[in-house]
Chains A and B, each alone.
Chain A
Amino acid sequence: MEDVNHAPVLDHAKIETKSKLREYIEAIIWAIFLFLIIKTCVVQSFKIPSSSMEDTLLIGDHLMVNKFLFGIRIPFTDLRLPAIREPERGDVIVFKYPIDTSMDFIKRVIGVPGDEIKIIDKKVYINGSLYKNPHEIHKDNQVFPAEAVARDNYGPIRVPGDSYFVMGDNRDNSHDSRFWGFVPRSNLVGKAIIKYWSLDKNKWHVRWERIGRVIE
């Protein structure tokens, strides 16, 4: 009689615990699934640790990158879904560094497939015409000859198909296509769209005026 009486209480508690545990596991699995889908197909966040894109992007800026504009990359393959549009001159893009694909780089597209790039005394010429991006800055007045370093004098060189020539906005302090070549299309990660957070860690100062700014 005693067994019959207390058994339902224990069983009820056991079932309740089991179903709550199951619900929590389901919630965690859904969270991971949602995160992976959004990170792969929609947006991914990056932070800026270097000065190569100053003043467009400062050290400590956090930004969102659109992952579907240039075609969603299918994980663990080199395959991509069709792109909404191709990268254009002036776009700020995130890509896998061609020398070491474990690293992500962020630079501005200067040359698209077929363009002829030439740099003379820090001035960029595309297909023979001067190209000056409003965001580019120069912090060093020295001009080096092409034989010494590719920074200020470079080319002419033609951008091959399915490749891009990229440069940092901080032209005198950027490790970009001038030094390591073109970015293959398959290395593209996405287009930088918006800064959602900006912290100057040296002063522990939040740069509120930069938050929410669209990256142009």
Chain B
Amino acid sequence: MKEKYEPSTDFVLKVMRRVYEYEESKNPIIQWLSAHSSIRYAMMGIGALLGIFKTIPAF
């Protein structure tokens, strides 16, 4: 008869790492967008420009 099963002490750590790895692999574009601060600044600039180019009618 086999001895009683005992999970390793870092079992939860290992599982959680794999869960995060899987979650991160699901959205590579969002991951890429959020990873570079220059992209955030570019988005900020584009947002400001779009606001500026929002036209008002002048009769």
- Do the beta carbons of B56 and A47 come within 8 Å of each other? yes
Question: Among residues 1 to 54 in chain A, which have CB atoms less than 8 Å away from a CB atom of chain B?
Answer: 1-2, 5-6, 9-10, 13, 20, 23-24, 27-28, 30-32, 34-35, 38-39, 43-50, 52
Asked if B59 and A45 sit within 8 Å, CB to CB, the answer is: no
Contacts of B41 in A (CB 8 A): 27
Distance A76 CA – B55 CA, assembled complex (angstroms): 21
Contacts of B11 in A (CB 8 A): 2
Q: A13-B20, A23-B37, A45-B52 are in contact. Are A94 and B58 (CB under 8 A)?
A: yes
Chain B residues with Cβ below 8 Å from A44 are 52, 56
In residues 134-184 of chain A, which contact B (Cβ within 8 Å)?
175
| Bound-complex Cα distance A32 to B48 (A) | 6
Chain B contacts of A6 at CB under 8 A?
12-13, 16
B17 within 8 A of A: yes
Query: Quick one: closest A residue to B34, CB to CB?
Result: A20
Q: Does B13 lie within 8 Å of A52, measured CB to CB? A: no
Once A44-B52, A45-B52 are accepted as A-B contacts, the answer to whether A27 and B43 lie under 8 Å apart by CB is: yes
A-B contact count (CB 8 A): 86
- Among B10, B34, B59, max chain A CB count under 10 A is at B59
Q: Does B57 contact A (CB under 8 A)?
A: yes
The answer on a CB contact under 8 Å between A2 and B9 is yes
Pair B40/A23 contact, Cβ less than 8 Å: yes
B9 contacts A38, C-beta separation under 8 Å: no
Q: Which of B35-59 contact A (CB under 8 A)?
A: 37, 40-41, 43-45, 47-48, 51-59
Asked if residues A49 and B52 are in contact (CB atoms below 8 Å), the reply is no
- Kindly state the separation between the CA atoms of A209 and B50 in the bound complex, as whole angstroms: 23
CB–CB A46/B57 < 8 A: yes
Q: How far is the CA of A45 from the CA of B41 in the complex (A)?
A: 23
> Please, could you name 27 A-B residue pairs with CB atoms under 8 Å apart, sorted by A?
A1-B9, A2-B11, A5-B12, A6-B16, A9-B13, A13-B20, A23-B40, A27-B43, A28-B44, A28-B47, A30-B48, A32-B48, A35-B47, A35-B51, A38-B48, A43-B52, A45-B55, A45-B56, A46-B58, A47-B56, A48-B57, A50-B59, A52-B59, A94-B58, A104-B58, A105-B58, A175-B59
Residue ranges of B at the interface with A (Cβ–Cβ < 8 Å): 9-13, 16-17, 20, 34, 37, 40-41, 43-45, 47-48, 51-59
Pairs of residues from A and B, 3 with the lowest C-beta to C-beta distance, nearest first: A35-B51, A31-B47, A6-B12
